[in-house]
Structure 1
Amino acid sequence: MKSKKTKNRWLIAASAVGIHISIGSVYAWSNFTNPLIEEFGWSTSQVQLTFSIAILFLGLSAAFMGHFVEKHGPRKAGILAAVCFGTGVIGSGFAVSISSLPLLYIFYGVLGGIGLGVGYIAPVSTLVKWFPDRRGLATGLAIMGFGFAAAISSPIMEVLITSVGLQNTFYILGISYLFIMIVSSLYLEKPEEGWAPAGFVEKVKAGKMEQKRDLAQLSANEAVKTKRFYYLWLMLFINVTCGIAILSAAKPMAIDSIGMTTVQAAALVGILGIFNGAGRLGWATISDYIGRPNTYTAFFVIQIALFALLPFTTNAMLFQITLAVIYTCYGGGFSSIPAYIADIFGTKQLGAIHGYILTAWSAAGLAGPMFAAWMKDTTGSYESSLLFFAGLFVVALVISVLIRVDIRRIQQQSEKTVRQSMKKVVS
């Protein structure tokens, strides 16, 4: 029987980027805020709630639909994500046409949010299997697309809103996302069992490349019963909580603490978005060389120092450099976590486990900005919250050491079992 032709893994990666660039446009939601307020008289909090609902359902659907991704494969999961997200954006146009805020919540927040969650995990879990030699690079490519999406979508949204109005903007974007995501999903496929990239096996045999073995091959239900799962969850939660807080506070801090103008601060936020995207690819690629445990420890050591430094920074250049590095660590946390999950739980049910871990994102999305705003209202500045976040990173650093200890313990148990098995064979 003739075996089917193996797909190009770089085109698989390009397909993943296509999906993530589409769903990542959620980060450009602020483009709709003022036009919606001006047209319908809704409050800022009412309009922003749409975005919060979308992020909430991203986390929930990623957690609950992870098993769907594993059972039905990335193609069907990607198409489901396309239908949900595309229909959600198109439906938002209908909601706007009848001036219905509740319908906007349902279409963009709930339906669009479900598309976000499924679309986020489906291509990532597949990419890890296509890149056993470069897990970090593969996941970094896709999740970089999510990070850069706002920079690509924002100017397009601005032009469309100005030229064709809010309603038609939602229709055009929704149809475009639906098309891009479906086309991208149709190429997605898991590699055949035992597949390896050309020359990979030969290089391993020749000793030119080390084949890193996964710590275990666990199902999602088995993974959630381990300490390692909760260590990963907490590390991601702390990294995202502190990162989102600084994202929400960057502009007012630049104005109040450094003395930048509103225009300069807005430009800074846009530029920092590039570091967010670049950090996703850069740190994930670095993690292939130094290992995921070292990468996460580096995140926390760097950010302990920078968050402690920020409240006392008055120099504009130092302020911008500090924020840029923090943004790379924030983005890198997202892109390194799928490869970290694969390293310690295997690829058996990676999509489902990744979905469970992403609930940390939803929780952090609520906790970070709310805490930073509360500290600002209570103390009159963001400085005290930054010192608190530096303390949180100390906790994260301790967790990053504890997970190393746990990994090492399991490795020693595995080595002991192998030695005992060899002794039995010899005897």
Structure 2
Amino acid sequence: MWQEKGKGKRIPQAVKVLVAAVGVQFFSGTLYIWSIIKDQLIMIYGWTDAQATLPYTLATLIFAFSMFFAGLLQDRTGPRLMTSIGAAMLGLGLILTGLAKSVATMVLAYSLVMGAGIGINNVATTPAVLKWYPPSKKGAITGLVVAAIAVAPVVYSPLLTLLLMHFGMAGGLGILGAGVLVASVALAQWMADPPVGFQPQGSEAQDPSSKLVEGPDMPWQAMVRTSRFYKLFAMFAFSASAGLMLFGHLTRIARLQADWEGGYLLIMLIALFNGLGRFGGGALSDVIGRVKLMRLAFLLQAVNMALFGFLDKPLTLALGVALGGLCYGALFSAFPAITADYYGLEHLGANYGMIFMAWGLGGVLGPQMAGCIFDATGSYRWAFLVALALLLLAFLLSLTLRGKDKRAMEKN
């Protein structure tokens, strides 16, 4: 809502922070177009599938681990400084990626510099935004912010394909990186924590799902002493592996299974449904509870993985990709929200950073495992079956979460 100030009008700080967070997350979505870069590395430099997957796998690990340490710093320094650092590393990492020609230099540029930048951006934006809005909107706000990084490949996929076609690796990624650096650093200047004692409008009517833990908010040292933390960690790692595997290998899967060279279109499709899943899943979790949403997504994605190796037409493959993106996105919105539910907002930067390390582990369980299986067998079918088993394990673990979710709290 706009507010009067003298004769002019100004945007409320909460809206500025939300716009900045969505924008910075959107620019961070370059992580999900690795499949296009990977194809170039295999064609131009003759890398194996496992070699061309390694920078992406390590980027997910560094992304995840950098979130914990950045979260600790953010809880002390605030989101503006951390987002500015992350945005600068993101743009610089893209520029350096275009110049890298060996596995080692690609790991340094893409995995270390860019991966850490994306991790810093992720932990500096979502926790800050949640502090500006009431608990009843926690799922929807989380979903909106994390949806931005998901839908970014809808723009980046055709844009990068065009840039690579006309300017090559160094020129194309250099142009993209320079634009991302300038725009994301500018947006970072709007990031801020609310003042001490701030109460969001509507927070008086406390959302039942916002207080699932008795007593004060938990710091990460106390969180890791709860059994629920390890269950959430394993569930996140197991479930993320399927979605990350698709993002890392999708163009090649399309070529091998459906004899189709339009894999970049599938990257746009999975990005679109990933974004829909993040926003829709976040909003739905405000209604049915986070745990129920997770169970539904685990089962749907498990069915998808069971069938994925048999999708040999562009249309059927597109349907599987859409469902895969939807489930992956819904789960991605659920984990930060449930972390805030169980452990509070005060230490959310470090707490979610700790839990998000599981996503990095999922990058090893998914993409790298799939690359090794393909190099050994010439097919991805066994990789889909491993992902199926991991999703079923995640579902079984979710059945042991006995903490009260929103519906249970409302009934009481």
Using the alignment, how far apart are the partners of 1:108 and 1:265 within structure 2?
A: 22
Q: Who is 1:369 aligned against?
A: 367
Report the TM-score when normalising by structure 2: 0.84
Contact 1:220 1:352 in 2 (8 A): yes
Structure 1 position 79 matched with structure 2 position 84: yes
Please state how far the C-alpha of 1:288 moved relative to its aligned partner.
1.2
Using the alignment, how far apart are the partners of 1:154 and 1:293 within structure 2?
A: 33
Please state how far the C-alpha of 1:376 moved relative to its aligned partner.
5.1
Please state how far the C-alpha of 1:13 moved relative to its aligned partner.
1.5
Evaluate the alpha carbon distance shift between residue 84 and residue 372 of structure 1 in structure 2; reply closer, same or farther with a 3 A threshold.
Answer: closer
Greater Cα shift, 60-69 or 188-197: 188-197
Using the alignment, how far apart are the partners of 1:382 and 1:106 within structure 2?
A: 28
Evaluate the alpha carbon distance shift between residue 163 and residue 302 of structure 1 in structure 2; reply closer, same or farther with a 3 A threshold.
Answer: closer
Which digits, 9 at most, give the CA deviation of each residue in 1:96-122, with x for residues without a partner? 5xx676444323321222111111111
Q: Who is 1:106 aligned against?
A: 108
CA RMSD of aligned residues (A): 3.2
Which structure has the greater CA radius of gyration? 1
Structure 1 position 155 matched with structure 2 position 158: yes
Using the alignment, how far apart are the partners of 1:174 and 1:168 within structure 2?
A: 10
Structure 1 position 167 matched with structure 2 position 170: yes
Which digits, 9 at most, give the CA deviation of each residue in 1:347-399, with x for residues without a partner? 11101111111111111111213433455566665445444433333321221
Using the alignment, how far apart are the partners of 1:400 and 1:146 within structure 2?
A: 26
Please state how far the C-alpha of 1:225 moved relative to its aligned partner.
1.2
Contact 2:150 2:329 in 1 (8 A): yes
Structure 1 position 128 matched with structure 2 position 130: yes
Using the alignment, how far apart are the partners of 2:41 and 2:298 within structure 1?
A: 39
Contact 1:139 1:335 in 2 (8 A): yes
Q: Who is 2:397 aligned against?
A: 399
Q: Who is 2:4 aligned against?
A: none
For this pair of structures, how many residues does the alignment match?
A: 395
Contact 2:373 2:383 in 1 (8 A): yes
Q: Which amino acid aligns with 1:220?
A: W
Q: Which amino acid aligns with 2:125?
A: P
Please state how far the C-alpha of 1:219 moved relative to its aligned partner.
0.3
Q: Who is 1:425 aligned against?
A: none
Q: Who is 1:19 aligned against?
A: 24
Evaluate the alpha carbon distance shift between residue 298 and residue 89 of structure 1 in structure 2; reply closer, same or farther with a 3 A threshold.
Answer: same
Q: Who is 1:233 aligned against?
A: 233
Q: Which amino acid aligns with 1:43?
A: W
Using the alignment, how far apart are the partners of 1:313 and 1:101 within structure 2?
A: 32
Q: Who is 2:242 aligned against?
A: 242
Please state how far the C-alpha of 1:17 moved relative to its aligned partner.
1.3
Q: Which amino acid aligns with 1:239?
A: S
Which digits, 9 at most, give the CA deviation of each residue in 1:217-236, with x for residues without a partner? 10011111111111111111
Q: Secondary structure at the match of 1:59?
A: helix
Report the TM-score when normalising by structure 1: 0.81
Which digits, 9 at most, give the CA deviation of each residue in 1:288-318, with x for residues without a partner? 1111111112112323444344456678755
Greater Cα shift, 113-122 or 43-52: 43-52
Using the alignment, how far apart are the partners of 2:46 and 2:254 within structure 1?
A: 28
Contact 1:36 1:42 in 2 (8 A): yes
Which digits, 9 at most, give the CA deviation of each residue in 1:68-91, with x for residues without a partner? 111111111101112222232334
Structure 1, unpaired ranges of 5+: 416-427
Q: Which amino acid aligns with 1:218?
A: M
Q: Which amino acid aligns with 1:177?
A: V
Q: Who is 2:351 aligned against?
A: 353
Using the alignment, how far apart are the partners of 2:376 and 2:92 within structure 1?
A: 42
Please state how far the C-alpha of 1:163 moved relative to its aligned partner.
3.6
Please state how far the C-alpha of 1:341 moved relative to its aligned partner.
0.3
Match of 1:189 among 181, 188, 192: 192
Q: Which amino acid aligns with 1:187?
A: W
Q: Secondary structure at the match of 1:221?
A: helix
Using the alignment, how far apart are the partners of 1:366 and 1:235 within structure 2?
A: 15
Q: Who is 2:73 aligned against?
A: 68
Q: Who is 1:115 aligned against?
A: 117
Evaluate the alpha carbon distance shift between residue 256 and residue 150 of structure 1 in structure 2; reply closer, same or farther with a 3 A threshold.
Answer: closer
Using the alignment, how far apart are the partners of 2:212 and 2:310 within structure 1?
A: 43
Q: Which amino acid aligns with 1:142?
A: V
Q: Which amino acid aligns with 2:153?
A: A
Using the alignment, how far apart are the partners of 1:34 and 1:246 within structure 2?
A: 14
Which digits, 9 at most, give the CA deviation of each residue in 1:398-422, with x for residues without a partner? 211212x1458xx99xx9xxxxxxx
Structure 1 position 49 matched with structure 2 position 54: yes
Evaluate the alpha carbon distance shift between residue 356 and residue 36 of structure 1 in structure 2; reply closer, same or farther with a 3 A threshold.
Answer: same
Contact 2:157 2:264 in 1 (8 A): no
Please state how far the C-alpha of 1:199 moved relative to its aligned partner.
4.6
Q: Which amino acid aligns with 2:332?
A: F
Match of 1:336 among 334, 337, 340: 334
Q: Secondary structure at the match of 1:245?
A: helix
Q: Which amino acid aligns with 1:237?
A: A
Contact 2:57 2:367 in 1 (8 A): no
Which digits, 9 at most, give the CA deviation of each residue in 1:152-186, with x for residues without a partner? 12222233334444333343333322222222211
Structure 2, unpaired ranges of 5+: 1-9
Using the alignment, how far apart are the partners of 1:281 and 1:253 within structure 2?
A: 27
Evaluate the alpha carbon distance shift between residue 28 and residue 314 of structure 1 in structure 2; reply closer, same or farther with a 3 A threshold.
Answer: closer
Evaluate the alpha carbon distance shift between residue 184 and residue 101 of structure 1 in structure 2; reply closer, same or farther with a 3 A threshold.
Answer: same
